[in-house]
Structure 1
């Protein structure tokens, strides 16, 4: 099929590669414009732009698709279908209508649950035990279109957003190629009105850990915000990101204040239960597993996180 591909971040790259590998004709790749990055703040192309250029594909990165000229240029590509995954711009109705078979969106949730910007983060942070990929026929509403195909997967007990992100990206790549192969026989199913939830964009204010919360909430916060923006606490007065965790097994001493390190292995008391920290990152440093971090900066049992002095 003749396809317009629309995507920007790492999540979208395997999908683009899968479409190319399947032999589809990529008329053009649309992505967000290069953004300033690094110490020199030089414009850096998005992951999709970098892969598209390496594949020799035509790349377009308009700031907006609202203008008549941009819409005409899009329609002039005469695509059979547009495949959209984490693109980052709202598609006006003339763009949605331009491809002969419309625009298909790859969404990383089991719609209608977690419409919106951050479905992977929110699924983990809310304690969902399953998620998946939906191939949706796009319409003007926010992720409201009918679903053509879906695939489910379990969320692991210690899975982070980073790990689930990569799994769902690969699932989306496989599912869209199957959807395109069967596009004439697929039946679009309207989303049910019940069960709608919205995955609001992650706010950095959500990242500071409140150790007075139950352990399962703290654990989900750490895993759901890993690697970005990264849940954080203070250890010895230094802000440290916590990137992986698990619920601590066994009984927890009842007289340990929330935030107290219970063992030399970074098991921390919460409002109820405890969490073991598995991976950490100091500001300006690389991420480290628990053992490597503690060899360089031991944290004694009895230390109260977010305070310089031990708990009393």
Structure 2
């Protein structure tokens, strides 16, 4: 029986934890996750999904604000375990924790590509044809540890982040169980730091578009739907769209064609077919109904 301390917070981590809990040869002895956070307009204090799952399985849950605090580290080191499994936990592990037991991280990219906070979105922003999950031994760096194993998958040409997230989560679950059952530190491969790239935490402001490049906007739509979404300077949210063409040129943001499905909006390079939008403080609607309400048509900017 392999005793595991698990660290993770979002849905990605929840799926991995569920697989660990149901495995006959693995015992999850403790779960570390982020503190409860206020959610929604009423700021209702809401626990991470990982906490909910762990409590249902009667596993002790720890939610330190700072993992590196001395009393937190002392408490963690008092828990006997064979491995520490980390998946989108949200805090960097201090050296004292790394020394307590071998630590394995499941990172949703093909390392050393896309170290950091938003690897799944970054692969879509860059219009990559392939992504994957890397299992690595953790060290004190940010996603810099030696690689144990990588599971890769192809990205669909029009694949959205929710679909890719789900498929990568499924890969991470399989990879986690495989690595725990067959781990050997001697076979790990050191990362080539010269090939490393990084991705930042996504902000609400990243969704603002200016109709400069249709391909770039479409990839942001794929990466940022549903959050933070993509929107114009006026706050109009683009809820549904597709790439119309990649190479035409014209005045950015101007409506060039309207049909029953939606509107074609010209970019400086390429154009987009937009079908559904949402104005600030309004319900989502078809773009044709939106334009009829605004009394604007071809030759006008989409505002």
**Counterpart position of 1:225:** 224
Residue 268, structure 1, aligned to residue 265, structure 2: yes
TM-score normalized by structure 1?
0.86
> Could you say if the C-alpha distance between residues 21 and 143 of structure 1 is closer, same or farther in structure 2, counting changes exceeding 3 Å?
same
Provide structure 1 residue ranges, at least 5 long, that are not aligned to the other structure.
Answer: 307-312
Correspondence 1:243-254 to 2 at 5 A = 243-249=239-245, 252=248
TM-score normalized by structure 2?
0.89
**Counterpart position of 1:17:** 18
Residues 238, 278 of structure 2: 8 Å contact kept: yes
Aligned-residue offset at 1:136:
0.9
- Aligned partners of 1:120, 1:270: CA distance in 2, in Å? 26
1:243-278: CA deviation from partner (whole Å, max 9, x where unpaired): 4532215985x5x42212233313221112112235
| Partner of residue 286 from structure 2, selected from 287, 290, 293 | 293
> Could you say if the C-alpha distance between residues 301 and 145 of structure 1 is closer, same or farther in structure 2, counting changes exceeding 3 Å?
same
1:31-67: CA deviation from partner (whole Å, max 9, x where unpaired): 0010112233231101111222223322110111222
Provide structure 2 residue ranges, at least 5 long, that are not aligned to the other structure.
Answer: none
**Counterpart position of 2:127:** 127
RMSD over aligned Cα atoms: 2.2
Secondary structure of the structure 2 residue equivalent to 1:262: strand
> Could you say if the C-alpha distance between residues 198 and 185 of structure 1 is closer, same or farther in structure 2, counting changes exceeding 3 Å?
closer
Residues 223, 245 of structure 1: 8 Å contact kept: no
Secondary structure of the structure 2 residue equivalent to 1:131: strand
**Counterpart position of 1:147:** 147
**Counterpart position of 1:309:** none
Aligned pairs, how many? 294
Secondary structure of the structure 2 residue equivalent to 1:163: helix
Aligned-residue offset at 1:122:
1.4
**Counterpart position of 1:7:** 8
Deviates more, 1:137-146 or 1:12-21: 12-21
